[in-house]
Amino acid sequence: MAETPRGKRGEEINVTRPCNMPTRPLRPDSLCFTGSRKECGEVTVFDYDVLVIGSGPGGQKAAIAAAKLGRRVAIVDKREMIGGVSINTGTIPSKTLREAVLYLTGMSQRELYGSSYRVKDDITVGDLSARTRHVISREIDVIRNQLSRNHVTLLTGLASFIDPHTVSVRAAGDIEDRRVQAERIIIATGTRPARPDTVDFDGRTVVDSDQILALERLPRSMVVVGAGVIGIEYASMFAALGTKVTVVERRDRMLDFCDVEIVEALKYQLRDLAVTFRFRESVVSVERHNGGTLTLLESGKKLPADTVMYSAGRQGLTDILNLPAAGLSADNRGRIKVGSDFRTEVEHIYAVGDVIGFPALAATSMEQGRLAAYAACGENVNAMRAELMPIGIYTIPEISYVGRTEDELTELAIPFEVGIARYRELARGAILGDSYGMLKLLVSPEDRSLLGVHVFGTGATELIHIGQTVMGCNGTIDYLVDSVFNYPTLAESYKVAALDAMNKMRAVARFSG
């Protein structure tokens, strides 16, 4: 079904115009209706220049970027999922929940006012969800407004390929599909929580990472299966609320891509919140009982709890796309393979975001969407520099890093020096009541460039961008040593850590010079 042309204010207009789009030379005497695919002379005219499937961070930025370049753009998603998983069940609600937990529990103030300090004694799910609903509603409004003012058409429904250029869109309750044809297509469908077939999820006592936001009450005890980013984030939040949390992980450590020292600092803080870790353990089964759940481990351990949350990875949302009709395929985790410009094995189809795999972060998905749109529109773009992508983990306390870890540099035989600043040495750290935070710089002794920056504690995900910028500009720690930072601030930690690294390198130079 053809899209009805609309004016700037959204009113329907009936027009017939020459096929004179600047991106495709057409015969001047040929005429066709905008909004349908027809053969005009030797050129095919599509409904849209760019069709984006999925309105999450990657899809949204791709659609807007293509629209800014003057292309006719449409974006497809379900009515109840505008903004994608990120807005509705993932990034935004989980981070909003974290802020609500920090405020209501008084966690960030306890070092100043005592371990028993709380803003509210009896915290309920309603207290936590009120803030979440408000933020989600606001963010959805922002996205709709951005799409509207950039003249991006929003098509409501589920998308499925008919052929490499044609997609059917079916909205809930519709009898017939709507067919849309586009010259370029960008897939940004995101992921859903992976669910083991052996586990019976009921949304109340056994939940995945999406369902946990809909719990009717706060559990007194919880088993978290999986010590990845999502699992540890929720483990720390519920532990801060007073839930007795046990984390089960089949590997021998959590967050194994992070700096070991930073992870150990986080583990110490979580244990202080009464979190129990069961590493090198696998779950055999989860039994539901009237009084809660019983998790059985391969080692024979039995873990009773009110609730079990599975965080066992994510599955790409590609099963309903009918990828073979477009000449595409996905791996066993539903992920689509792409090249450096996010082009798939089909030349005019691109894929971005969680559906292409690691790092599967909202921030990187946004940039992937922008770059894919530029590539689809024939614009020259610089490839993403993987070493400059910051990683943010919103645990309590939070972690963020950019660049290499100590283990990676050691394995690659790259020499480095370490500079450390601890929040307890900063006036701002004392003001905030954060004595455990730290910033670590990994510095090349050869040219004093930054090889990696790792932050743990209050404001970590904000602070990291100073180091990211210095690395992106090929700067050295000389810049940090010579800079004047506002006082008192946490940003001052960069100067303290840079001086620490500089002094260590001078000590080595005295012996080798």
Question: Residues 195-244: pLDDT tens digits?
Answer: 888 888 998 999 999 999 889 899 999 999 999 999 999 999 999 999 99
Structural contact between residues 232 and 313, judged by C-beta atoms closer than 8 angstroms: no
203 assigned binding-site residue: no
pLDDT of the residue at 119: 83
Cα–Cα distance measured from residue 499 to residue 507, given in angstroms and rounded to the nearest whole number: 12
Q: What value does the mean pLDDT of the chain take? A: 89
417 assigned binding-site residue: no
pLDDT of the residue at 325: 97
472 assigned binding-site residue: no
Cα–Cα distance measured from residue 419 to residue 398, given in angstroms and rounded to the nearest whole number: 20
249 assigned binding-site residue: yes
User: Which whole number is the average pLDDT over 408-430?
Assistant: 97
316 assigned binding-site residue: no
Structural contact between residues 270 and 430, judged by C-beta atoms closer than 8 angstroms: no
Confidence of residue 25 (pLDDT cuts 50, 70, 90): very low
Q: What is the pLDDT of residues 151-206, one digit of tens each?
A: 999 999 999 999 999 999 988 777 778 999 999 999 999 999 998 888 889 989 99
pLDDT of the residue at 26: 35
pLDDT of the residue at 399: 98
228 assigned binding-site residue: yes
pLDDT of the residue at 513: 61
252 assigned binding-site residue: no
Q: Return the structure tokens found at 33.
A: 């209706």
At residue 60, the 3 state secondary structure works out as: helix
Cα–Cα distance measured from residue 490 to residue 436, given in angstroms and rounded to the nearest whole number: 13
Nearest Cα to Cα of residue 260 among 412, 428, 401: 401
Structural contact between residues 157 and 24, judged by C-beta atoms closer than 8 angstroms: no
pLDDT of the residue at 174: 73
User: Which whole number is the average pLDDT over 73-102?
Assistant: 93
15 assigned binding-site residue: no
114 assigned binding-site residue: no
61 assigned binding-site residue: no
pLDDT of the residue at 309: 97
Confidence of residue 114 (pLDDT cuts 50, 70, 90): confident
Per-residue CA distances from 489 to 77, 435, 459 (Å): 43, 14, 11
pLDDT of the residue at 229: 94
Distance of CA 471 to the CA centre of its chain: 22
233 assigned binding-site residue: yes
Instruction: Work out the percent of the chain whose per-residue pLDDT is above 90.
Output: 77
Q: What is the pLDDT of residues 325-365, one digit of tens each?
A: 999 999 999 999 999 899 999 999 999 999 999 888 999 99
Q: Which domains are assigned to the chain?
A: 1-37 (no CATH), 46-84+133-192+316-386 (3.50.50.60), 206-312 (3.50.50.60), 397-512 (3.30.390.30)
229 assigned binding-site residue: yes
Which of 18-27, 203-212, 234-243, 308-317 shows the lowest mean pLDDT across its residues?
Answer: 18-27
